[in-house]
Amino acid sequence: MKRFFRIFYLTGVQINAWIRISRAFAAIPLIGKPLSILTDNLMLMLYGIELTSTSLHVHRLVVGHSTGVVLGGNGIRCTGTLHLSSGVVFGRRYSDGHPEPEHFFDIDGDVTIGANSVLLGPLKIKGPVIIGALTLVTNDITEPGVYVGTPARRLDSAAEPG
């Protein structure tokens, strides 16, 4: 019974439900696309999360604070859990003439992204990865670890302090 009522108090569960509804609308012939766009815009108004649900393929999406989250960049695929804080932006760089990938963000494993971080795709990330707050990610992340800074750099866990 407790699991059923989670939709009333957990934002992440509500957002995942809206994404499923929007995808279901998109499958309806003729009127599906406008209904899906309407649902996506409703998520922007209610939660402050901007996305196109039909291009979002995430195994498990966890959004702690959804204010200002932008899930753009022409598609996100994640095989693990994607944890997002407020202000996270998935964007895309300007086209350089190369063919665009199917998913601009290809994430294998679990990824946690801190507040106000920006990821500019196309990117491939191999988890488990933690991206710190206010981090700019412009290059692929191939090693698990903690990444911080502008541009993002991996923290060396073997380094001795001071």
Query: Is residue 65 domain-resident?
Result: yes
**How many Cβ atoms from other residues are within 10 Å of residue 156's Cβ?**
9
Q: Does residue 28 lie in a domain region?
A: yes
**Dist. CA 96–CA 101, nearest whole Å:** 12
Is the residue at 137 inside a domain? yes
Secondary structure in 3-state letters for 79-124 = EEEEEECCCCEEEECCCCCCCCCCCCEEEECCEEECCCCEEEECEE
The per-residue pLDDT string of the chain (162 residues; one tens digit each, 9 = 90 and over) reads: 666 676 666 777 888 888 999 999 999 999 999 999 999 999 889 888 888 888 888 888 888 777 888 887 678 999 999 999 999 999 887 766 666 666 789 999 999 999 999 999 889 999 899 999 999 999 999 999 999 999 999 998 655 454
Evaluate whether residue 162 is within a structural domain: no
End-to-end CA distance of the chain: 52
User: Comparing C-alpha atoms, which of 91, 134, 140, 132 is closest to residue 113?
Assistant: 132
Task: In whole angstroms, give the CA distance from residue 102 to residue 105.
Answer: 9
Q: Classify strands 153-154 and 145-148 as parallel, antiparallel or unpaired.
A: antiparallel
Residue 53 lies in a domain: yes
Write the CB contacts of 106 (distance below 8 Å, at least 6 apart in sequence): 77, 122, 123, 124, 125
pTM over cut 0.75: yes
- Is residue 161 in a domain? no
Does 61 map to a domain? Answer: yes
